[in-house]
Amino acid sequence: MDAENSFDEKTMIDNNLSNRYIDLDPNGYFIIKVDLEENKIILEHFLNNINDDGYALDPETNEPIKCDSQNKRVSNEVFKGISAKQLGIMITEERNDLITRFDHALYLGRELQKAEECLYKKLPYIQD
């Protein structure tokens, strides 16, 4: 198999995996941003309530939270660092109560690596 076919297959598999159903972490979720001016990765943690259908609910309205830019929630915690490793250590050693699921930890590690690469290559970062 050549590199192009291998990359296409990886992309297809990754896209399918990104669209599968996942159980949300009951202790919350993270939004990752790359601040190229400050030269930092910013990791914001948000608390959530999860309904019986597995949807995160806004604590003020008790309505499902939509994934759009109109949602202006206040984060529970904010972490800033210059590497995926630094942020991972901050979370696991300083606030290890924020992640309760292995799949959430694996996802966060992948996304922090992506964010670090974008930071150092000065590229826009888009969270999966």
Per-residue pLDDT reduced to its tens digit, 8-64:
898 899 888 888 888 889 899 999 999 999 999 999 998 877 788 877 777 778 888
Task: Convert 24-78 into a string of H (helix), E (strand) and C (coil).
Answer: CCCCCEEEEEEECCCCEEEEEEECCEECCCCCEECCCCCCECCCCCCCCCCCCEE
Given a contact cutoff of 8 angstroms between Cβ atoms, the answer to whether 50 and 26 are in contact is yes
pLDDT tens-digit series, residues 85-122: 999 999 999 999 999 999 999 999 999 999 999 999 99
Give the per-residue pLDDT at 83: 98
Q: Which candidate, 89, 69, 70, 71, places its Cα nearest to that of 79?
A: 89
The residues, ordered by sequence, that sit 6+ positions from 35 with a Cβ below 8 Å of its Cβ are 41, 42
Specify the pTM. Answer: 0.79
Contacts of 26 (CB under 8 A, 6+ apart): 48, 50, 100
Q: Residue 44 has which token pair?
A: 């914001």
The number of residues in the chain equals 128
pLDDT of amino acid 41: 99
Q: Are 24 and 100 in contact (CB under 8 A)?
A: no
pLDDT attached to residue 66: 75
Alpha-carbon distance values, 14 to 7, 29, 49, 65 (Å)? 10, 21, 28, 25
